[in-house]
Amino acid sequence: MRLVKPKKFLGQHFLNDLKVAQDIADTVDAYPDLPVLEVGPGMGVLTQFLVKKERPIKVVEVDYESVAYLRNAYPLLEEHIIEDDFLKMNLQRVFNGMPFVLTGNYPYNISSQIFFKMLENRDLIPCCTGMIQREVAQRIAAGPGSKTYGILSILIQAWYKVEYLFTVSEQVFNPPPKVKSAVIRMTRNETKELGCDEKLFKTVVKTTFNQRRKTLRNSIKPILGKECPLTQDPLFNRRPEQLSVQEFIDLTNKVEYELSIMVKE
């Protein structure tokens, strides 16, 4: 069977270490009763361990060459191979509205987009695991005060508990990426409602981190303007990287209240 040639434009780096693949596959066992959707299976190095878990599994692959390989290598998976772009899929249709575990050796160039889609479908995805670029994994898992703490950290940690599980050497891939990789697991926390306007929360987080080295008093100006009295609050002496998720929720509520006053005036 002819092997699939990694395609740079798809961000493909095929894992060739079976022990690492087994370890990644085992991360889905946090939810052993749920079906699994694997993103970007490539030649199935992770798939071969997932199919042994005696639970429903589907794989979604956009590369036609990889799809052809999977159909030959895993004939029993034939009806469960989805040839599509994960980012454009309606995830409600994958398992007929049933929650599932999301996993994969994610393409580095779209990993953040995958996680934003996860957030949009958080009620469907109680657990997401997989391998990504180490720097992205560190950002997602970082806490307040860390240099790597930022937009991804806050938006994901608002809804998920994040575990940085282990680091993976660049030498176990074909072709080897220029950076190390890491495996993480994100499991839904108990949050049902943020306690603030979610759209405004995202805007506040993204706006303030666009100027992360400045204090909130300065970085919030695109939303509140230059002379807003709210910014005299001591909270605004701090930089965005110093605020916890809950403090960003509190900040969002203060901003919403202030904006409502400005509209009335």
Taking the C-alpha atoms of residue 118 and residue 239, their distance in angstroms, rounded to an integer, is 28
Identify the pLDDT of residue 12. Answer: 60
Taking the C-alpha atoms of residue 170 and residue 167, their distance in angstroms, rounded to an integer, is 10
Question: Is residue 193 in a domain?
Answer: no
The better pLDDT of the pair 1, 64 is held by: 64
For the whole prediction, is pTM greater than 0.75? yes
Domain count, the chain: 2
Same domain (yes/no): 165, 184: yes
- Under a CB-based contact definition with an 8 Å cutoff, are residues 164 and 139 in contact? no
pLDDT grade for 264, boundaries at 50, 70 and 90: low
Question: Of 140, 163, 188, which residue sits at a domain end?
Answer: 188
Q: Kindly report, residue by residue over 13-63, the tens digit of the pLDDT.
A: 778 899 999 999 999 999 999 999 999 998 899 999 999 998 999 999 998
- Under a CB-based contact definition with an 8 Å cutoff, are residues 158 and 104 in contact? no
AA identity, residue 140: I
Same domain (yes/no): 125, 182: yes
Same domain (yes/no): 142, 106: yes
Tell me the chain's radius of gyration from C-alpha atoms: 21
Taking the C-alpha atoms of residue 255 and residue 258, their distance in angstroms, rounded to an integer, is 5
Q: Kindly report, residue by residue over 202-236, the tens digit of the pLDDT.
A: 999 999 999 989 999 999 999 998 778 888 889 99
Question: Of 188, 209, 244, which residue sits at a domain end?
Answer: 188
Taking the C-alpha atoms of residue 125 and residue 116, their distance in angstroms, rounded to an integer, is 12
Give the distance, in angstroms, between the CA of residue 204 and the centroid of all CA atoms in the same chain.
20
Judging by beta carbons within 10 Å of its beta carbon (0-12, 13-18, 19+), is residue 25 exposed, middle or buried? buried
Return the axis-axis angle of helices 111-120 and 134-141, rounded to nearest 10°: 40
Same domain (yes/no): 139, 234: no
Q: State the SS3 of 32-100.
A: CCCCEEEECCCCCCCHHHHHHHCCCEEEEECCHHHHHHHHHHCHHHHHHEEECCHHHCCHHHCCCCCCC
Range of the domain at 103: 8-188
Q: What is the CATH number of the domain that holds 21?
A: 3.40.50.150
Same domain (yes/no): 115, 246: no
Question: Is residue 258 in a domain?
Answer: yes
Question: Is residue 95 in a domain?
Answer: yes
Provide CB contacts within 8 A for 41, sequence distance 6+.
47, 59, 61, 66, 70, 104
Of 59-68, 88-97, 247-256, least confident by mean pLDDT is 59-68
The mean pLDDT of 102-124, rounded to a whole number, is 95
Identify the pLDDT of residue 265. Answer: 58
Q: What percent of the chain has pLDDT over 70?
A: 94
Q: What is the CATH number of the domain that holds 243?
A: 1.10.8.100
Question: Of 188, 214, 243, which residue sits at a domain end?
Answer: 188
Q: Could you say which DSSP state residue 172 is in?
A: G
Question: Is residue 260 in a domain?
Answer: yes
Q: Mean of the per-residue pLDDT values for the chain?
A: 92
E-assigned strand segments in 126-180: 127-133, 160-168, 173-174
